[in-house]
Amino acid sequence: MYAIAEAWLISRSCPSGAIPTPAVHRAADDATRALEARVREAGSRFALLTSYTDDQRTEPETAVVLRARDPQERPEFRVLLESYDRWTGTHTLREGGFATREAAAEWWGACRSPPPAPAVTWSPRRRNPVHRPCVSGLIHGGELRKRAQYT
């Protein structure tokens, strides 16, 4: 999820060339590199709602749920699933798109297979300079619980 950290820095005026390339967690394939580039360029268009890392597996996984700040963005909810291969030092990143928070939570609670591909791809980068309140959630026991959070 290095690309999310890069997006955060870039959205706060850090030049992308000033961010060092990580020495570990190399992208395993072109699909991962392309998705990381889209995430990096998204800036602050998406709010991070929740994340979970399972590092007890043979291939550790991290999943995050994002929500579009623009209510017209479709799909509104995205899940990013990163799987790390300890033997090769590489990772894959996959994206899923969901119309509702509940649908994202249902997938999250049910399985850890690759998420369903979003029906719409990300549009070119647009900055959102206004920080508005959003609803953040925690997934607990397969259920998404809401809490207010300002981003």
Identify which of 21, 89, 99 has the alpha carbon closest to the alpha carbon of residue 59: 89
Q: What are phi and psi of 76, to 5 degrees?
A: -75, -35
d(C-alpha 72, C-alpha 68), whole Å: 8
Other CB atoms within a 10 A radius of the CB of residue 131 amount to 11
Q: Are 79 and 65 contacting, i.e. CB atoms less than 8 angstroms apart?
A: yes
Q: Are 82 and 127 contacting, i.e. CB atoms less than 8 angstroms apart?
A: no
The angle at the Cα of 76, spanning 111 to 37, to the nearest 5 degrees, equals: 80
Q: Are 42 and 6 contacting, i.e. CB atoms less than 8 angstroms apart?
A: no
26-84 residue pLDDT tens: 899 999 999 999 998 887 889 999 888 888 878 888 989 999 998 888 889 999 999 99
Q: What does the pLDDT read at residue 139?
A: 39
pTM over 0.75: no
Pairing of the two strands 61-68 and 46-54 = antiparallel
For the chain, the average pLDDT equals: 76
